[in-house]
């Protein structure tokens, strides 16, 4: 027996018929694999104001303070009797992930001479108060607990003006620097503890992660559902700009719309924190599946009503797809018991936002059979039934697209944690492709917009 030849594509059948070949039934060619769908990326910028850090520094280095004799001796030894300061300025600058703090002070002090009980001082009127500077720098990063952390902290103090006591001009600068360094150590502790309290994003990320796993109804009958299918969530590197620290939560998902009863999902816990690439905006590709079986069922019901009582009646409709065509198979009874096949080209109509079949016509063999029967079951009637099946009822794409846009916008406008809220929305929605799988027409849509996280 000679080897079986592979089925010819639909376009080749028309060419074969034109050249005098024997008409054959149109084959149902296997659907080609769908091109990969890019993941959805929801990049939510975060803005953290540095005013809280300044508040912590204000407590560590107040505008004025003094040490009594007991505390002064604890820090500076028996010769220290008083230390007082007045802060001139406090500056905080963030560049990239690096934070620089500069505090300028003026101070004065009283000390006892090492040789005996005589007292001396510096910085008391009529003398000007000597200057001191406290500098510290630290790098910010995201800790595993989703809080800000500090590392590679550097601190130094400088006393540009010496502290020479009025009695015998003894230089007490080393003693004063010891006290200034103690002040600097307190400031470092305050800064290290202030940043983790600035932003705790774990609850916000966990809330967003959980909500993105819950199926969202995209029709009033709750027969179509948007599944976001989140894959990962991460935090973008920190970047300082002016008086704010900016970063971003980046959530990667594989959304799609499915029909049928509410899907059952198992909520997955928030994955471990990862460092995400910097990204901007919302880019959410969504895949909508229109099952051939459901289209055929609705078209069969419409055509059965149209042909009831006629000599040739439609008892069933089967829809399938090839890479570039759609096949509609009609089961008939009456003057002919059998099946006829039509071929058309699927297209998404932007105006009506429905799937339509252009150039729907009988294959050569089916047309010949209809001619021999001298009966007409017109392709326009069948096309209208198919269009109604894909544009009405729960397969209506327009309402599904609107509902998907609305549901995603709702998810992006709500509190995520006591001190964190998300806000934003979808600006544009457009169809990017129409494909066929083994069981359905697949419409791909791109939703784009902007959103952000606000930390109070």
pLDDT of residue 12: 28
Q: Looking at mean pLDDT, say which of 15-29, 72-86, 439-453 comes out highest.
A: 439-453
Is residue 190's pLDDT more than 50? Answer: yes
What's the mean pLDDT in 81-96? 87
Residue 10 scores a pLDDT above 80? no
Q: Which of 134-143, 200-209, 260-269, 349-358 has the lowest mean pLDDT?
A: 349-358
pLDDT score recorded for residue 19: 28
Residue 29 has pLDDT above 50, yes or no: no
Average pLDDT of the residues of the chain: 82
Q: Are 246 and 236 in contact (CB under 8 A)?
A: no
**Between 66 and 230, whose confidence is greater?**
230
**Residue 411 above 90 pLDDT?**
no
Band the pLDDT of 120: cuts 50, 70, 90. confident
Q: Residue 389 has what pLDDT?
A: 79
Question: What are the pLDDT digits (tens) for 375-387?
Answer: 667 778 888 888 8
Residues of the chain with pLDDT > 90, as a percent, come to 20
Quote the pLDDT of residue 293. 92
pLDDT of residue 66: 86
pLDDT at 430 > cutoff 50: yes
Would you say residue 221 has pLDDT above 90? no
Give the model's pLDDT for residue 394. 61
The model carries a pTM of: 0.71
Structural domains of the chain in order of their starting residue, each with its CATH number: 48-198 (3.15.10)
Place 27 in a pLDDT band, splitting at 50, 70 and 90: very low
One-letter-per-residue 3-state SS of the chain: CCCCCCCCCHHHHHHHHHCCCCCCCCCCCCCCCCCCCCCEEEEEEEEEECHHHHHHHHHHCCCEEEECHHHHHHHHCCCEEEEEEEEEEEEEEEEECEEEEEEEEEEEEEEECCCCCCEEEECCCCCCCCEEEEEEEEEEEECCCCEEEEEEEEEEEECCCCCECCCCCCECHHHHHHHHHHHHHHHHHHHHHHHHHHCECHHHHHHHHHHCCCCEECCCCCCEEEECCEEEEEEEEEEEECCEEEEEEEEEECCEEEECCCCCCCCCCCCCCEECCCCCCEEEEEEEEEEHHHHHHHHHHHHHHHHCCCCEEEEEEEEEECCCCEEEEEEEEECCCEEEEEEEEEEEECCCCEEEEEEEEECHHHHHHHHHHCCCCCHHHHHHHHHHHHHCHHHCHHHHHHHHHHHHHHHCCEEEECCEEEEEEEEEEEEEEEEECCCEEEEEEEEEEEEEEEEC
167 forms beta bridges with none
Tokens of 4: 């079986």
Q: What is the pLDDT of residue 225?
A: 87
233 contacts 210 by C-beta, under 8 angstroms: no
The pLDDT value recorded for residue 270 is 92
| Res 1: pLDDT | 42
């Amino acid at each position: 027996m000679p080897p079986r030849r592979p089925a010819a594509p639909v376009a080749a059948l028309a060419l074969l018929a034109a050249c005098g070949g024997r008409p054959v039934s149109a084959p149902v060619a296997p659907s080609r694999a769908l091109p990969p769908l890019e993941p959805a990326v929801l990049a939510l910028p975060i803005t953290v104001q540095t005013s809280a850090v300044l508040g912590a520094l204000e407590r560590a280095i107040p505008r004025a303070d003094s040490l009594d004799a007991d505390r002064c001796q604890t820090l500076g030894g028996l010769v220290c009797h008083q230390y007082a300061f007045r802060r001139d300025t406090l500056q905080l600058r963030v560049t990239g992930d690096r934070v620089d703090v500069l505090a300028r002070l003026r101070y004065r002090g009283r000390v006892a001479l090492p040789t005996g009980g005589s007292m001396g001082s510096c910085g008391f009127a009529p003398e000007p108060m000597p200057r001191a500077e406290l500098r510290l720098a630290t790098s910010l990063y995201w800790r595993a607990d989703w809080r800000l952390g500090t590392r590679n902290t550097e601190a130094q103090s400088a006393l540009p003006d010496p502290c020479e006591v009025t009695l015998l001009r003894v230089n007490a600068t080393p003693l004063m620097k010891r006290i200034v360094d103690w002040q600097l150590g307190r400031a470092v502790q305050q800064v290290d503890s202030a940043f983790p309290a600035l932003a705790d994003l774990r609850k916000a990320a966990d809330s967003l992660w959980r909500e993105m796993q819950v199926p969202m109804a995209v029709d009033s009958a709750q027969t179509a559902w948007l599944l976001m299918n989140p894959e990962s969530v991460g935090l973008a590197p920190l970047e300082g700009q002016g008086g704010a620290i900016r970063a971003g939560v980046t959530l990667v998902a594989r959304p799609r719309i499915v029909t049928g009863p509410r899907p059952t999902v198992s909520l997955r816990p928030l994955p471990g924190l990862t460092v995400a690439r910097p990204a901007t905006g919302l880019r959410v590709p969504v895949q909508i599946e229109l099952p051939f079986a459901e289209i055929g069922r609705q078209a069969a019901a419409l055509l059965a009503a149209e042909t009831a009582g006629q000599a040739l009646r439609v008892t069933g409709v089967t829809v399938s797809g090839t890479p570039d065509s759609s096949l509609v198979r009609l089961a008939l009874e009456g003057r002919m018991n059998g099946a006829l096949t039509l071929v058309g080209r699927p297209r998404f109509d932007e105006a009506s936002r429905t799937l339509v079949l252009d150039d729907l016509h009988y294959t050569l063999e089916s047309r010949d059979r209809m001619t021999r029967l001298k009966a007409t079951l017109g392709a326009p009637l069948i096309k209208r039934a198919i269009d109604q099946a894909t544009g009405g009822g729960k397969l209506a794409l327009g309402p599904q697209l609107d509902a998907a846009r609305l549901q995603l916008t709702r998810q992006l406008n709500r509190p995520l944690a006591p001190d964190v809220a998300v806000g934003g929305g979808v600006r544009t929605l457009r169809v990017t492709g129409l494909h066929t799988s083994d069981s359905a027409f697949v419409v791909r849509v791109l939703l784009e917009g902007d959103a952000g996280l606000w930390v109070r």
